[in-house]
């Protein structure tokens, strides 16, 4: 089994700590290890280091090598620039298929939290068996515990397998991030799970589905295959990425493919998609404040204070705020507005304030 860690995201919702040169996955958010180091560590009991591959853009490669030392070049797959998850996964799949025509891929984002690592290993083993036996595209679904509006959802139908108490279902539909009322309906129905963005499949299987549903991407990838390992590869890759459209693997393939399975599980998962999610996971003082670094909260409740090792963040008489100090920027926003940090970064781009991005 091979692992593909998608490490090329920019993590804009974690500005001002997450920047282009050192985005969210290369930061230590909740503990001393960075998120990508945690991801590699939880894979290590199951997958050899030589079988873990990383896909990211070229400007992030030095940071990857610093955090995951002694990597071989063949384990690093570089994209010229991001074009969403379908091209990313397709590019990795042709590399893994070239190495081993029977390669089985576990596809994981680099920036998730998984607290029940033992159960996660059982899930991966069950997914491996289903992907091999049924030639299926397997996705990992998280049993929801609240009507979350920040996640996509997967609706399942009948159970098709149960392996070591791991339940596997046929997929009925995929749903985009819902509003609160719809999320509550999903939760109450009992047949929706959160879409974790983690997958298990054979490299040949996902490429065949890309051929069926995104034929122009497949055609470009097949042409590129003949250049792997040659001097012409980089030029041909850049040409391909200029031509293909940006499209997610969910929208481009998973919503259309027939043989899709979802594993329904509880593994202590969180994709910590905002500073408010960080707040919810952190320990609090008796007033409900979560403080990282040097922070002081006076007459304040339910705030997240996040600073570096040298700068003090102090607040007086505020409730339910996020205050983050990092390098040359400070973020202050209501916790319920934390998802909108992404839009703030877009505003910085439009104003060409690149030194803060």
Per residue in 104-132, pLDDT (tens digit) is 999 999 999 999 999 999 999 999 999 99
Report whether pLDDT(237) > 90: yes
Residue 281 vs residues 106, 125, 341: alpha-carbon distances, Å: 26, 28, 19
pLDDT score at 187: 96
Q: Are strands 52-57 and 153-163 parallel, antiparallel or unpaired?
A: unpaired
Q: Distance (Å, rounded) from C-alpha 216 to C-alpha 213?
A: 9
pLDDT score at 221: 98
247 CB contacts (<8 Å, ≥6 apart)?
83, 84, 86, 87, 214, 217
C-alpha atoms less than 13 angstroms from C-alpha of 305 in its C-beta half-sphere: 24
Q: Residue range 243-255: average pLDDT?
A: 96
Would you place residue 273 in the very low, low, confident or very high pLDDT band (cuts 50, 70, 90)?
Answer: confident
For 69-79, b/e burial (b = at least 16 CB within 10 A) is eebeeebbbbb
Report whether pLDDT(190) > 90: yes
Q: Residue range 140-165: average pLDDT?
A: 93
Domains of the chain, start order: 2-270 (3.90.550.10), 275-356 (no CATH)
Query: Which is more confident, 263 or 69?
Result: 263
Would you place residue 278 in the very low, low, confident or very high pLDDT band (cuts 50, 70, 90)?
Answer: very high
Report CA dihedral (347, 352, 356, 357) to the nearest 10 degrees.
70
The whole-chain average pLDDT of the chain stands at 95
Q: Read off φ and ψ for residue 26, nearest 5 degrees.
A: -100, 15
Q: Residue range 150-179: average pLDDT?
A: 93
Which is nearest to 10 in space by CA: 77, 79, 82?
Answer: 82
CA angle (335, 337, 340) in 5-degree steps: 135
Q: Which helix (H) or strand (E) holds 91?
A: helix 85-99
pLDDT in tens, 29-64: 888 899 999 999 999 999 999 999 999 999 999 999
Report whether pLDDT(209) > 90: yes
Would you place residue 310 in the very low, low, confident or very high pLDDT band (cuts 50, 70, 90)?
Answer: confident
């Amino acid at each position: 089994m091979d692992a593909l860690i998608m490490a090329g995201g920019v993590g804009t919702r974690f500005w001002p700590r997450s920047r282009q040169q050192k985005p969210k996955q290369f930061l230590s958010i909740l503990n001393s290890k960075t998120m990508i180091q945690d991801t590699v560590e939880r894979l290590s009991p199951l997958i050899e280091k030589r079988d873990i591959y990383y896909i990211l853009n070229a400007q992030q490669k030095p940071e990857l090598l610093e955090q995951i030392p002694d990597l071989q070049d063949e384990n690093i797959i570089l994209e010229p620039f991001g074009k969403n998850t379908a091209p990313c996964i397709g590019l990795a799949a042709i590399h893994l298929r070239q190495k081993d025509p029977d390669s089985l891929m576990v596809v994981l984002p680099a920036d998730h939290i998984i607290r029940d690592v033992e159960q996660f290993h059982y899930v991966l083993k069950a997914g491996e068996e289903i992907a091999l036996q049924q030639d299926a595209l397997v996705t990992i679904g998280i049993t929801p515990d609240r009507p979350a509006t920040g996640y996509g959802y997967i609706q399942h139908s009948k159970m098709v397998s149960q392996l070591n108490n791991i339940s596997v279902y046929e997929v009925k539909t995929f749903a985009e991030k819902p509003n609160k009322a719809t999320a509550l309906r999903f939760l109450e129905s009992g047949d929706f799970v959160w879409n974790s963005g983690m997958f298990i499949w054979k490299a040949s299987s996902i490429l065949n589905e890309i051929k069926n549903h995104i034929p122009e991407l497949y055609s470009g990838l097949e042409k590129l295959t003949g250049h792997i390992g040659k001097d012409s590869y980089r030029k041909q890759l850049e040409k391909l990425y200029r031509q293909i459209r940006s499209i997610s693997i969910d929208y481009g393939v998973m919503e259309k493919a027939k043989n899709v399975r979802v594993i329904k599980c509880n593994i202590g998962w969180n994709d910590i998609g905002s500073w408010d999610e960080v707040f919810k996971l952190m320990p609090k003082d008796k007033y409900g404040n979560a403080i990282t670094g040097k922070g002081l909260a006076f007459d304040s409740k339910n705030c997240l204070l996040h600073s570096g090792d040298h700068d003090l963040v102090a607040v007086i008489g505020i409730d339910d705020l996020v205050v983050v100090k990092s390098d040359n920027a400070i973020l202050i926003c209501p916790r319920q507005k934390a998802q909108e940090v992404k839009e703030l970064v877009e505003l910085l781009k439009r104003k060409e304030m690149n030194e803060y991005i």
